[in-house]
Amino acid sequence: MTIGQIAGFGVMVLMVGIVLWRAVLRAGNQSDTANGYERAMRVYRDQLTEIDRDLARGVIVADEAERTKLEVQRRVLELDRTARGDLGSGEAGPRMVAMGVVVLALIGGALLYFSVGLPTYRDMPLMERHAQAQDARANRPGQAELEANYAEAFPGPFDFEGRDQLEPMVQQLREALVTRPEDANGFRLLARNEVRLGNFRAAIEAQIRVVDLSGERVPVDELAYLLDLMALGTGGIVSPEQEAVIERILRSDPENPIALYYSGRLYAQTGRPDLTFRLWRRLHDVSPPDAPWLEEIRAALPELAQISGAPRYQLPPPPSPRGPSAADIEAAQDMTPEERQEMIAGMVDGMLARLANEGGNAQDWAQLLRAMGVLERREQATAILQEARTIFAADAQALALINDAARAAGLTAE
């Protein structure tokens, strides 16, 4: 704490102490007390309503909601006892003692704030901040306006090798789907290739068709991909339409990482970094080391913790990468060719199970293809290659990596 801060702190304590002294000697006004009681009760009622809303949206878990509600209810009871005069008789002596306790608490609280708080952060009452955040969220632009703004700032087309060959094939697919409106696989393929061409609106509409064709039991992965496409079209700004997709995903899968990530972005963009911190802290702890959002949330979490009143939060170390350990590699050097082949087969089977259950990035699929080539499992590798090309059809860089691995495994790359 600097000398200037100490001086300012002393003046603040003195002024507040004078105000408290006068207030205690006056003993207050009954109507003012009643008005203060009503205002405080309104605040607590709003807090209870907001807790229920956050629980319904999946922002907080049931145990945390119950603990927070109990704390608010405890404060309500305390407020009620105070209003009924249970905390003092109104005589001067007890009031003087109470004033001294309050001043000491003020000094201690201020010292604590200077040590762990954010003195440079602009002061604003909590309810006012929440009201501003709700207003920003209610009045933010829609998907169409955000897409138009992003297209104006970053006009296409996106150039990449092979675009000239891809465009006529996508046009043929568009024309074919006019006569096949129930072809979910066709629209799924169209969405992935439209986004590759930079046609975000066309990709979104194709994926919406996939979702519609899936009916009530639409897979969460299809909704998550729609959310990704919508966010790509707005440059990462979360629109009300994206929020509706987020809510639909979280109703089916409360721990869906893509929905949690974009929920965090939504709150950060609308003035609730405290909720972003809660969501992204949870997301960080369950994310694999190759998650595309991991770098962003690791960079943001320390600052979010400070803003959210958790300055002692320590960012955990990054998740360890999956794959053979250094000990595995060292042990393989002393193996016979047969033992090494058996170890590779075991790793391949484990990787197959993980990719089937959890998915993976292009590097994982490329590694699997190369391992298949070593084991000479050509038929199985061909099926895996086709699946990988379908998954990464909209990612030219990932496809190039997959095709390089296919060539290394002795498979055709085209």
154-179 tens-digit pLDDT: 877 777 788 889 999 999 999 999 99
* pLDDT surpasses 50 at 397: yes
User: How many other C-beta atoms can be found within 10 angstroms of the C-beta atom of residue 321?
Assistant: 10
**Integer Cα distance of 253 and 273 in angstroms:** 23
pLDDT > 90 in the chain, percent: 30
**136 — pLDDT class (breaks 50, 70, 90):** confident
**357 — pLDDT class (breaks 50, 70, 90):** low
Question: Is the CB of residue 368 less than 8 Å from the CB of residue 344?
Answer: no
pLDDT for position 375: 74
Question: Is the CB of residue 51 less than 8 Å from the CB of residue 69?
Answer: yes
Average the pLDDT over 204-217 and give the result. 93
pLDDT for position 334: 62
Q: Which of 61-65, 131-135, 221-225, 405-409 has the lowest mean pLDDT?
A: 61-65
Q: Pick the residue with more confidence: 99 or 171?
A: 171
**90 — pLDDT class (breaks 50, 70, 90):** very low
Task: Give the tokens for residue 222.
Answer: 């299809």
* pLDDT surpasses 90 at 264: yes
Reduced DSSP (H G I as helix, E B as strand, rest coil) percent helix, strand, coil of the chain, to 5? 75, 0, 25
Q: Would you tell me the crossing angle of helices 294-307 and 273-286 to the nearest 10 degrees?
A: 140
Q: Which of 143-147, 180-184, 282-286, 348-352 has the lowest mean pLDDT?
A: 348-352
**2 — pLDDT class (breaks 50, 70, 90):** low
* pLDDT surpasses 90 at 262: yes
DSSP character for 323?
A: S
**Integer Cα distance of 352 and 377 in angstroms:** 13
**Integer Cα distance of 69 and 49 in angstroms:** 10
Identify the sign of the CA torsion 156, 292, 410, 386.
negative
pLDDT for position 27: 47
pLDDT for position 312: 86
Average the pLDDT over 15-28 and give the result. 55
Question: Is the CB of residue 259 less than 8 Å from the CB of residue 227?
Answer: yes
Average the pLDDT over 37-57 and give the result. 71
pLDDT > 70 in the chain, percent: 63
b/e map of 155-169 (b: 16 or more CB within 10 Å)?
eeeeeeeeeeebeee
Tell me the pTM: 0.53
Average the pLDDT over 34-51 and give the result. 69
Average the pLDDT over 185-210 and give the result. 94
**18 — pLDDT class (breaks 50, 70, 90):** low
pLDDT for position 400: 80
Nearby residues of 53 by Cβ (< 8 Å), 6 or more positions away:
none
pLDDT for position 89: 46
* Most trustworthy range by pLDDT among 115-129, 134-148, 207-221, 356-370: 207-221
Please state, rounded to an integer, the average pLDDT across all residues of the chain. 76
Question: Is the CB of residue 393 less than 8 Å from the CB of residue 196?
Answer: yes
Average the pLDDT over 174-195 and give the result. 94
Report H helices in 117-236: 126-138, 143-153, 163-178, 184-196, 200-214, 220-233
Q: Pick the residue with more confidence: 30 or 154?
A: 154
* pLDDT surpasses 60 at 102: no
* pLDDT surpasses 70 at 32: no
**267 — pLDDT class (breaks 50, 70, 90):** very high
pLDDT digits (tens, 9 = 90+) for 223-233: 999 999 999 99
Q: Pick the residue with more confidence: 204 or 103?
A: 204
* pLDDT surpasses 90 at 300: yes
Question: Is the CB of residue 357 less than 8 Å from the CB of residue 367?
Answer: no
pLDDT for position 4: 55
pLDDT for position 383: 82
pLDDT for position 86: 47
Task: Give the tokens for residue 281.
Answer: 């802290």
**Integer Cα distance of 109 and 123 in angstroms:** 16
